Amino acid sequence: MKILVVEDDADAGRYLVRALGESGHIADLAADGEAGLEMAMAGSYDVLIIDRMLPKRDGLSLIMALRADKRTTPVLILSALGQVDDRVLGLRAGGDDYLTKPYAFTECLARVEALARRQNPQSAQLIYRVGDLELDRLAHRVTRGGEDILLQPREFRLLEYLMRHAGQVVTRTMLLENVWDYHFDPQTNVIDVHISRLRGKIDRGQGASLLHTVRGAGYMIRDNGR
């Protein structure tokens, strides 16, 4: 995946570019808003990571300029301003996701990958399949190995989100944001308990477990057998 990082702090930018490279992506760095806009217009990037406060042209105006030019490249906004209103402002300007500094790289990576996937038309499937687990979005039905699994509505949405991002790490905050629509950092392990319940329903008594915990990052649904 080709990623553009627009970040004025040289160390932070270099670190992010190198870490993305280590994760198998190609990342370019722009050090100010003008250069960022130029590169974003010229290159064909899959995801843009844009710091909010930049010299020459601030991040939000960069995003607005891109959107005015009908560029739909997904944008992850990085910002030291993490209050509710700042987030709303960032998303309203045309950002697709918002990450508050300081952040864990795993969180950033997971979000970037989720954004790239969102662009991908395959993601709008009606039926998700991971191994022998199947989720039918229209019929609201989940089966594993042909057998029905009864899920609560929220568990269904949780599984749906995980399966839409099958093979990708999904962090706890991403789950809280996308499944519960809360944007705060839960102090307790609320999400973990939901996951373990879900795991109990889909993995219990099955040979291969599909719902994996990624240490220090989050969760991933994946069929290891394939």
Partner 1 sequence: MGAERSLAAAAGRVFRTTAFKLSAVYLLIFIVFAVFVLGYLAWNTRRLLDAQITETITSEISSLADQYNQGGVRRLITVMERRGRQSGSFIYLLVDPKGDSVTGNAILRVPALDQRPGWIEARFNWPDEPEDIRHEAKLRVFLLPSGLRLFVGRDLEERARLGEVIRRARGWSLFMVLLLGGFGAWFVTKRVLGRVDAIAASSARIMEGHLTERLPVSNTNDEFDRLALHLNQMLDRMGELMAGLRALSDNVAHDLRTPLTRLRSGAEESLRRATTLEEGREGLERAIEESDHLIRIFDALLMIARAETGNLATSLQDITLDEALSSIAELYEPLAEEAGMPLKLAVEPGLSVQANRELLGRALSNLIDNALKYGHPAPESEARPEIVLAATRVGATIELSVSDRGPGVPEADRERVIERFVRLDQSRAKPGFGLGLSLVAAIAKQHGGQIRLEDNAPGLRVVLVMPIGNVNDCKDVTA
**DSSP-derived secondary structure letter, 224:** T
58: Cβ–Cβ under 8 A, 6 or more apart, which residues? 33, 52
d(CA 16, CA 22): 10
d(CA 124, CA 12): 34
> Which tokens sit at 86?
């700042």
What backbone torsions phi and psi does residue 162 show, to the nearest 5 degrees? -65, -40
186 binds partner 1 (CB under 8 A): yes
Q: 183 or 212: whose CB is closer to partner 1?
A: 183
**Cβ at position 102, least distance to partner 1 in Å:** 6
For the four alpha carbons of 21, 47, 103 and 78, in that order, the dihedral sign comes to positive
Of positions 41, 185, 204, 208, contacts partner 1 by CB under 8 A: 185
At 110, which helix (H) or strand (E)?
helix 105-119
Binding mask 40-79 for partner 1 (x = CB under 8 A): ----------------------------------------
Q: Which of residues 93-132 bind partner 1 (CB under 8 A)?
A: 100, 102, 104
Of positions 64, 190, 214, 217, contacts partner 1 by CB under 8 A: 190
Binding mask 147-176 for partner 1 (x = CB under 8 A): -------x----------------------
Length of the chain: 226
Q: How are the residues of the chain apportioned to helix, strand and coil, as percentages rounded to the nearest 5?
A: 40, 20, 35
Q: 44 or 187: whose CB is closer to partner 1?
A: 187
Of positions 193, 204, 208, 213, contacts partner 1 by CB under 8 A: 193
Of positions 68, 84, 124, 138, contacts partner 1 by CB under 8 A: 84
148: Cβ–Cβ under 8 A, 6 or more apart, which residues? 141, 142
- Residues engaged in binding partner 1 (CB under 8 A): 82-85, 88, 100, 102, 104, 154, 180, 182-190, 193-194, 197
